[in-house]
Every structure is written in C-alpha cells, then in structure tokens.
C-alpha cells in the first residue's frame, strides 16, 4: 500500500495522458504499454476519504494496537489519556443536543482503528499501521 490516495493516482494519470487516446481491448486490458501499471498503482493507493483524527487519538491507537488492546478498551478504559477520553465521554450528561457530535467522534476513531490508516488532523500526516499477521 502506498501513501498516495486514489485521487492522486487518477490526477497523475490524467495529467500524463491528457492528449493520449486509450484503446481498450475487450476484457483483456489496454493496447498500449504506456499506461500499464496504473491499475496496480490505483489498487495500492489509499482511499480518498481517510478518517481524520487528532494527534492524541493517533498516538493512542498506535499504543493500543501495539499492546493488542481491543477497540472497546481504547474507547472507554480508565487508563485512556484525558485528551482522548474527553472526545468520547459525555461530560455533563448525554443529551439529544450532543448525540450527533459524540457519535461522529467515536465513528471516526473506530474507522481509523479498523482501517489501520488515517490522517492526523492539523499536520496532514498519513499514519499506516503494519498489516496484522
């Protein structure tokens, strides 16, 4: 897997082949070798819509994954760092007013956890964990 997104691959393809006619031969692929390799590069690219999480959450996911902790542990253990926990715990009580924001924060964290890849808010850094064995 690369650090570029599928949109990056597409934009590069368009830029390099703006005046180039691509001839497709049935289900057998392309006729010209100039564009071979693009499918592999596209398949290896990251999704365009990576979860974007704060650095504190990024660091917490890396730590929990290294310790083989569960997602439920990461979301709600008493050892969760306060800067991470405050985004998941509803201080002052759960209400309909804060429900959507609260759920979105947890869903974004869980998406980053499940994908094993995310973007760090503010820095744009792409973090990729090694694939599980």
Q: Are residues 97 and 62 in the same domain?
A: yes
- DSSP letter string, 92-133: T---HHHHHHHHHHHHHHHHHHHHTEEEETTT--EEEPPPP-
Query: pLDDT digit string (tens) for 80-110?
Result: 888 888 777 765 566 677 778 888 888 999 9
| Cα–Cα distance for residue pair 32/23, rounded to 1 Å | 7
Establish if 58 belongs to a structural domain: yes
Q: Specify the 3-state DSSP secondary structure of 30.
A: strand
* Number of structural domains found in the chain: 2
The DSSP output letter for 74 is H
Predicted confidence (pLDDT) per residue in 73-82, tens digit: 998 778 888 8
Say if residue 62 is in the same domain as residue 111.
Answer: yes
Q: 10 is in which domain, residue-wise?
A: 6-44
Better pLDDT: 1 or 60 = 60
């Amino acid at each position: 897997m690369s650090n570029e997104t599928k949109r990056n691959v597409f934009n590069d393809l368009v830029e390099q082949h703006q005046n180039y006619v691509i001839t497709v031969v049935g289900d057998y692929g392309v006729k010209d070798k100039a564009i071979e390799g693009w499918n592999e590069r596209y398949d290896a690219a990251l999704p365009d819509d990576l979860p974007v999480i704060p650095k504190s959450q990024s660091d917490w996911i890396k730590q929990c994954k290294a310790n083989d902790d569960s997602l439920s542990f990461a979301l709600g253990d008493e050892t969760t760092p306060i800067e991470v926990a405050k985004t998941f715990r509803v201080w002052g009580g759960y209400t309909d007013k804060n429900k959507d924001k609260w759920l979105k924060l947890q869903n974004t964290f869980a998406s980053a956890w499940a994908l094993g890849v995310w973007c760090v808010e503010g820095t744009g850094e792409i973090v990729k964990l090694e694939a599980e064995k």
